[in-house]
Amino acid sequence: MSAAVVVGLLAAGGTYLVLQRGVVRVALGFTLLGHAATTLLIAAGGADARGVPFAGAGPGAADPLPQAFALTAIVISLGLTAFLLALAFRSRDVHGSDDLETTEGER
């Protein structure tokens, strides 16, 4: 239950920020959405579906698959945040602002 509330709050905040105009805010929004997805993945784990994969691991071992998913997703989201911030930086260089709406008209 607590995981569901956390995912909901993160997704709501992320969606709000992604709908903003500045690229930096959009980047922050995607970071929050990424966290929502990561939390969801971790909460989705469960070892009932298959046996314990590692020799010697007890019955209380966690499901390793969602953890691998979450790690991968975190790495990808880090790279993409860096790229979005670089884009925002470049946007400030060529447009004078990272706000897309103010730059849309001047072509």
Partner 1 sequence: MSGLIPLAFAFPLTAGALGTLLRGRRAAQRLLTVAAALVVLALGVVLLAEVRTGGVVTDDVGAWPDGLAIVLAVDPLAALMLCVTAGATLVALTVAWARGEDDHPLFHPLVASLLAGVVLALVTADLFNLFVAFEVMLIASYVLLALRGGRDQVRAGVVYVGTNLLASALFLLGVGLVYGATGTVNLARLATAVPGDSAALAGLSLLLVAVAAKAGLVPLHGWLPRAYVHAGPAVTVLFSGLLTKVGVYVLYRLTSLILVDVTGLAPWLVAVAAVTMVVGVVGAVGGKDMRGILTFHMVSQVGYLVLPLGLMTVDAVAAGVLYLVQYVAVKAALLAVAAATRSLEGSDRLADLGGLLRTRPALGIAFLLPALALAGLPPTSGFVGKYLLIDAAFAAGSWWGGAVMLGVSLLTLLSMIKILTGAFWGERPERPDPGHVLTATRRRVLVGVPLAIGVAAVLLGPAAAPLLELARDVATGLVDPSGYLTAVVRP
SS3 at position 53: coil
| Residue (6 or 45) nearer to partner 1, CB | 45
Binding site for partner 1 (CB under 8 A): 11, 14, 18, 23, 26, 30, 33-34, 36-37, 40-41, 43-46, 48-51, 53, 64-66, 69, 72-73, 76, 79-80, 83-84, 87, 90-91, 94-95, 100, 103-104, 107
For residue 49, count other CB atoms closer than 10 A to its CB.
Answer: 8
Nearer to partner 1, 12 or 46 (CB): 46
| Sequence-distant (≥ 6) Cβ neighbours of residue 19 within 8 angstroms | 29
Q: How far is the CB of 6 from partner 1 (least distance, A)?
A: 13
Of 58 and 101, nearer to partner 1 (C-beta) is 101
The helix or strand, by DSSP H or E, that contains position 54, with its residue range, turns out to be none
Question: How many C-beta atoms surround the C-beta of residue 26 within 10 A?
Answer: 20
